[in-house]
Chains A and B, each alone.
Chain A
Amino acid sequence: MNEHTAVTRRRVLRGAALAAGVAALPAGARRAGAQAKPTISYWNGLTGADGKVMDELIQQFTQETGIRIEQQRIPWADLYAKLQVSVPAGEGPDLALIHTIEVPHFASDGVLDAIADGAVAGKGFRADDYLPSTWQGGIYQGKRYAIPLDVPQHLLYMNVKVMREAGLAGADGKPKVPGSKDELLAMAKQMTKGDGFGFAIGTLNPGKYTWGFQNLLWQNGANVYTPDLKRSALADPAAIEAAEFFGAIHARDKVAPPANANCRDAFIAGKLGMWIAGSWNFTGLREAKVDFAVAPVPRIFKRPIVWSMPHQFTFPRPKAADAARRDAAWAHVRWMSDHVAEWTLKAGQISARRAPHTDPRITGDPVLKTLLAQAPNWQGGQPTPKWVAAENLTRPVIETIYIGQKPARAAMEDLARQINALPE
């Protein structure tokens, strides 16, 4: 080996290492050197375990694209109030994640920018790639305002230890799944003793959990508004029947925890047997190492409807258009849509995009598989700007039913009157 050859090899190796190093740099970082990338603001209500997952994904997005995101995680109700106040003042975010039911009133109030069909197609978003209900949820009065991300939904969680102790598990240790309202109540009574409860709907404050109440309404063929959205349907017999069940589980049968209980903590502490709650809870339960099983939301009334409420990406209207920031916001929506399988696996939310639904990592997970299987029974809120106001009015009224302060019929008639009196 002569010196000349050795030096040449070293040079070659150095050159190769340098080239490899440059190639290994994220594409975004290389571009960032040439042109500064904008920093965008992004508001969402992912305050649970899913928020940490979003943090990780945003970090990955920034590494890959060079676009920085200033994220604000705010409880949903406060987020919506803040959006309504901030956007008209020109202080809104570049990107906001909201629930589908919020689209109509934010769109009608001019809080959201409409998205041109050309822009949607130009960014590579196609209706065929999405579940139809989620894609339709982004449209209000013929205009698109949102791009769907995922489908938070209800699920039946069963505490294996509690159910086994109550003799409600098979020989294989698997808990029994209730098949009807009567069976559910009988099983719940079997598990209720001392400070433990057999059944609950809702995470915090089950007495005013409107999303659980809506699930019961929908299972019984009832709804908040009539199909033409002109008046409230909550005084109809089917709605009253659902309300009577809502009151019976706590006020009459005492199988559900008090109106202000923290059901998640109770479930983790082994003081709750069966629990209908949001899909966003299951990754937290796994972290807490709770021995639990899941099943589709049981059929309590006529149809096994499952409450769902897709999250949608929206672009709040800025004071002055900024193409670079809007492009950066679009880049994040595109990136999240392309990486939504990671979101599903880590945050536990089934994607609105169909492609990840065949991902073996998702179909192989028993909880995600159950969530996917519920798809034919998903139902969401009605597309009216008054939906959210009606929901706010519903909260205290159903609580009076839950605690037995007011009979279901009188409470529902009063609620329907209040909703009908909502101004245009």
Chain B
Amino acid sequence: MRRLTPYLFLLPGLLLFGLFRLYPLLDGLRLSFTNARLGRAQYAWVGLANYERLLDDTRFHTSLWNTAFYTVASTLPILAIPLVLALALNRRIALKTFLRSAFFFPFTLSVVTVGLTWLWLLDPVVGPFNYYLRSLGVPARSWLADPATAMWAIVVTTVWWVAGYYLVIYLAGLQDIPRELYEAAAIDGAGGWTSFRAITLPLLRPVLLFVFVTHIIGSFQIFGQVFILTQGGPGDATRTVVQHLYETAFQNFFHFGSASAMAWVLFAVIVGFSLLQFRLLRGHTEY
């Protein structure tokens, strides 16, 4: 009985995990080998046809490329900006509590609120962003309707939205670093940059890894901001994998088979990247 006790405690969680995570995951895998369509009772086994079709689906390739671009473009700002803010707000400065709350506030908003706010801010005709640019003599731009700037606008929106969350994570990590280390370094004549390089960064590595891994996973799944701000446009300039998957599953003929194949390809990509990250950073940190 004593052996069974821990498993009994785990059972409710495992049941929920099995029902709401594992079962849909495996059923999705099964569907990816069929021509299942919502609303049609009959469907057939099609083998690898859905995966083969993805090889010819140029819009899927575009969406994969866009997702990778977004992931790379957003990673450095997501790692660096909250870290700089956290370092500043970890000092004794005026209005510290207020500033921490202010930076965290955007993260309390839903993606729809964030998207609609930035949609208005960046509106090419009546948006305040272009208004102030014009008043400064700078020509206005259609930030979300220009293929050269649309993805960057999404990156900026996302950084504004989630920076506060990572700021809190960094602050927790910074406050875990013993003060004595900085005091000892100061006695040895270390300056601010040396302390940061020799103490803060190495001891913050587990937090950095956490931020890095969770951000990469989240980036590959980006959907809400794109859906609200550009719907994948202009053209397909900001179409991401999840946007393409959503449209395949819920807008264009409800092809659950094809959409499930896309989901599994995305899953494989995310698993691959996550393993690579752990492998590259293994040995440098405890996690």
Which A residues are closer than 8 A to B by beta carbons? Answer: 77, 81, 84-85, 87-88, 109-111, 195, 197, 205, 207-208, 257-262, 265-266, 269, 271-272, 389, 392-393, 395-397, 399-400, 403, 405-406, 422-423
Contact = CB atoms under 8 A, between A and B. Distances in A.
Contacts of B187: none
A258 B125 contact: yes
Interface residues of B, number: 30
B234 A399 contact: yes
A261 B147 contact: no
Given A258-B142, A258-B145, A392-B251, A269 B126 contact: yes
Q: 4 closest Cβ contacts across the A-B interface?
A: A258-B142, A109-B39, A259-B145, A400-B235
Secondary structure class of chain B's binding surface, majority of residues: loop
A206 to B, nearest CB: 10
A392 B247 contact: yes
Contacts, number: 98
Interface of B: 38-40, 123-126, 130, 134, 140, 142, 144-147, 230-236, 239, 247, 250-255
A197 B124 CA distance: 12
A409 to B, nearest CB: 16
Contact of A261 (B125, B236, B252): B125
A197 B39 contact: no
B125 A81 contact: no
Contacts of A110: 39
A259 B123 contact: no
6 contacts: A85-B250, A258-B124, A260-B124, A389-B252, A396-B233, A423-B255
Nearest to B38: A84
B126 A266 contact: yes
A393 B252 contact: yes
Nearest to B255: A423
Nearest to B230: A260
A400 B239 CA distance: 13
Given A207-B145, A399-B233, A403-B145, A84 B124 contact: no
A262 B144 CA distance: 12
A207 B251 contact: no
B124 A261 contact: yes
Contact of B125 (A205, A266, A396, A422): A266
Nearest to A83: B39
Contacts of B144: 260
B234 A405 contact: yes
Given A84-B39, A207-B145, A260 B233 contact: yes
B39 A88 contact: yes
A205 B39 CA distance: 31
Nearest to A422: B253
Contacts of B233: 205, 207-208, 259-260, 395-396, 399
Contact of A208 (B231, B239, B255): B231
B145 A111 contact: no
Nearest to A204: B119
A261 B123 contact: yes
Given A265-B125, A405-B235, 15 more contacts: A84-B39, A87-B39, A109-B39, A195-B125, A195-B130, A205-B231, A260-B145, A260-B233, A269-B125, A269-B126, A389-B251, A396-B234, A399-B235, A406-B235, A423-B253
A397 B38 CA distance: 26
A182 B204 CA distance: 66
Contacts of B147: 403, 405
Nearest to A111: B39
Contact of A195 (B39, B134, B231, B255): B134
Contacts of A422: 252-253
Contacts of A77: 251
Contacts of A85: 38, 250
A403 B235 contact: yes
A232 to B, nearest CB: 15
Given A257-B125, A262-B126, A396 B38 contact: no
A285 B126 CA distance: 17
Nearest to B250: A81
A205 B232 CA distance: 12
Given A259-B142, A262-B125, A88 B134 contact: no
A39 to B, nearest CB: 27
A261 B124 CA distance: 6
A207 B234 contact: yes
B232 to A, nearest CB: 6
A396 B142 contact: no
A105 to B, nearest CB: 8
Contacts of B232: 396
Nearest to B126: A265
Contacts of B236: 396
Nearest to A266: B125
B247 A271 contact: no
Among A197, A262, A393, chain B packs the most CB atoms within 10 A around the CB of A262
A129 to B, nearest CB: 32
Nearest to A398: B235
Contacts of B255: 423
B239 A396 contact: yes
B253 A389 contact: yes
Contacts of B253: 389, 422-423
Contacts of B247: 392
B159 to A, nearest CB: 20
Nearest to A260: B145
Contacts of B125: 195, 197, 257-258, 261-262, 265-266, 269, 271-272
Contacts of B234: 207, 259-260, 396, 399-400, 403, 405
A339 B39 CA distance: 35
A257 B235 CA distance: 16
Among A110, A111, A258, A400, chain B packs the most CB atoms within 10 A around the CB of A258
A262 B123 contact: yes
Nearest to B122: A260
Contacts of A88: 38-39
A81 B246 CA distance: 10
